[in-house]
A = this chain, B = another copy of it.
Amino acid sequence: MRIALINPNTTASMTRKMAAAAAAVAAPSTEIDAITATIGPASIEGYYDEALAVPGLLAALRKAEAAGADAAIIGCFDDTGLDAARAMSAIPVLGLCEAALSLASFIAKRISVVTTDARARVPIEELVARHGMAGRVRVRAAGIPVLELENPRSSAVPRLKEEIVQALEADHAEAIVLGCAGMADLAASLQQQFAVPVIDGVVAAVKQAEALVSLGLKTSKRGAYAFPAQKDYAGALFGPMP
């Protein structure tokens, strides 16, 4: 089984971190192809960055699918471009937020997402609402630029821990979801320190992708995710569907 892990943040160090996390949990027979998008923002913080990350993501997805990927993961907690990717693809596509929330919902009633930049809080709250979990999930932003997570000397991790403390006390959180793909390396130590489940979206998505592929489940092509109609697409990036 081959899973394409596509990082729509065009920052290779973040991709390497995700790839390591993914490889550590993948089944022996699963191959993780980690791909950094080549078009788009260095980090995705808010609606504007999300929108600009999508074409690069879709280009990478099309290439990965043509090369034989069995499933794809969008390596950003905002589930950037997820619906478009599903409509375009014959293979299943997973987002980090939905994957992490679904696993969290199996082991905890009240959940807090801790994310980075303040611009990301409302978009994630909207995702949570779309997943029907607004009544049991709170979202907190630690006020950390995403790329500070790539800098080992920054104060990002201490600030993240402060938000987790708040989540446990003020939100009655029973589990913590890490709200940024760049936190994939922190889950284990945070889980140990705080003695509650700490869930990273990258590894959650790897296991969900493996689940779908091993069950032979693919994106429905009836209704909202039907393949795009044949038509002209002006400009260079994308032609009509093959």
A186 / chain B contacts, CB cutoff of 8 Å? none
Given contacts A42-B234, A83-B123, A126-B130, 19 further A-B contacts (CB under 8 A): A10-B232, A10-B235, A37-B234, A40-B234, A41-B233, A42-B232, A52-B84, A54-B54, A56-B234, A98-B106, A102-B102, A103-B212, A106-B208, A107-B220, A108-B225, A118-B226, A119-B224, A121-B224, A147-B231
Q: Is A143 an interface residue (CB 8 A)?
A: no
28 sample A-B contacts, Cβ–Cβ < 8 Å, listed by A number: A10-B232, A10-B235, A38-B235, A43-B231, A47-B224, A48-B88, A51-B54, A51-B84, A52-B58, A52-B237, A94-B106, A99-B106, A106-B208, A109-B223, A118-B226, A121-B223, A123-B224, A131-B132, A132-B133, A132-B135, A174-B220, A174-B225, A175-B220, A191-B216, A195-B222, A197-B218, A204-B215, A210-B211
Q: How many copies does the complex hold?
A: 6
A229 / chain B contacts, CB cutoff of 8 Å? 45, 117, 119, 145
Interface of chain A residues 65 through 104 with chain B (CB within 8 A):
81, 83-84, 86-88, 92, 94, 98-99, 102-103
Given contacts A48-B228, A223-B174, contact A42 B233 (CB under 8 A): yes
**B45 and A228 contact, CB distance less than 8 A:** yes
Chain A interface residue bracket vs B: 35 or more
**A107 and B92 contact, CB distance less than 8 A:** yes
**B215 and A207 contact, CB distance less than 8 A:** yes
Chain B residue with Cβ nearest A123: B224
- Which residues from chain A sit less than 8 Å from chain B, CB to CB? 10, 25, 27, 37-43, 45-52, 54-56, 58, 81, 83-84, 86-88, 92, 94, 98-99, 102-103, 105-110, 117-119, 121-123, 126, 129-135, 145, 147, 168, 172-175, 188, 191, 195-197, 199, 203-204, 207-208, 210-212, 214-220, 222-226, 228-229, 231-238
